Amino acid sequence: MMSSSLSSSSLSIAMVRCRRQRPHRSPSVGVRASLENAPIEFKKYQGLGNDFILIDNRDRATMKLSAKRASELCDRNFGIGADGVIFAMPPAQSGEDYAMRMYNSDGTEPEMCGNGIRCLARFVSDCDGLPPKAYKVGTLAGLIQPELRADGQVAVDMGEPIFEPSQVPTTIPATRDGKVVRGEVPVDGETWLVTAVSMGNPHCVTFGRFNECDEGGLNLDTFPLSTFGPKLESHAAFPRKCNVEFTEVKSRNYVKMNVWERGAGATLACGTGACATVVAGVLEGRIDRKCTVELPGGPLEIEWRESDNRVIMTGPAEYVFSGAVNPRC
């Protein structure tokens, strides 16, 4: 399945048949079927272990893989293995260089992905053979602006955080200036204190349960992520589910964070989650606006700028391997 070229017999036959068609006639049913089933090239990239299958989809407006097929390819035993499939799409709005669409590993479509957009920017640059530059990328969360730097890092202007409970969305009542800061969420008879933030997708950031978060906080080395992650992800307080960030503060400019991602479960990193974590930490008075977020896959540098309220995320995006897949099973 993972050939690094498209020299398969089905593609060759399709190309030959296309050349034999008369210019004024439409391709035959057999030729169209061959073209529709032609192998699709992909490249795999990872950002701090958060890994994605990348597909150049800029030649058509519809995604080349179905949600079902994307989920199958994300399977780590029977597919390529990834946290999601990302498509570089034609620009949808004036001023965009290209657009981003993606499927999570469970086949759901998120608004955006922070680590994913760094990988996408690196992928498009590699495909086009361009030197480091900035891009304007349209997403379901709005315009996002990644910039490839000469040192190999990718800095992304993630925009402004959203706090209005109905826009996160969450049903937790606002606790401070229209924001959900240290809101109470009951789980199995215990009360978790959470701060709700949207970075274009919903996040539930917690530093621990009631009293715990102010008395030493979480110890992520022993924390049962797979127990509490799903319960908060699908909690009724978050009608569209949420990404959940469990955070341990080490200093004013350094935190550790484990994430349970909506539609993907435990992952090694989450870019929007790191951004939401710093925003929440600042609102709760725990950390500074410029902070390193240490994830299981490595560190991200996050800054929530006071000057313009925008969040800047900086981290790596690296090529892993390439190949080709059948668009159908």
Say if residues 73 and 64 touch (Cβ distance below 8 Å): no
Catalytic residue among 113, 119, 213, 275: 113
Asked about 127 being catalytic, the answer comes back as no
Provide the H-helix boundaries in the chain.
Answer: 9-20, 29-36, 67-74, 114-128, 225-233, 271-283
Asked about 113 being catalytic, the answer comes back as yes
Give the count of beta carbons closer than 10 Å to the beta carbon of residue 310.
15
The single residue listed with the structure tokens 């995006």 is 317
**CA 133 to chain centroid:** 21
Task: Report d(CA 234, CA 192) in Å as an integer.
Answer: 14
Task: Report d(CA 44, CA 2) in Å as an integer.
Answer: 11
Task: Report d(CA 11, CA 180) in Å as an integer.
Answer: 54
Catalytic residue among 74, 119, 242, 270: 270
Task: Report d(CA 281, CA 164) in Å as an integer.
Answer: 17
The set of catalytic residues is: 113, 270
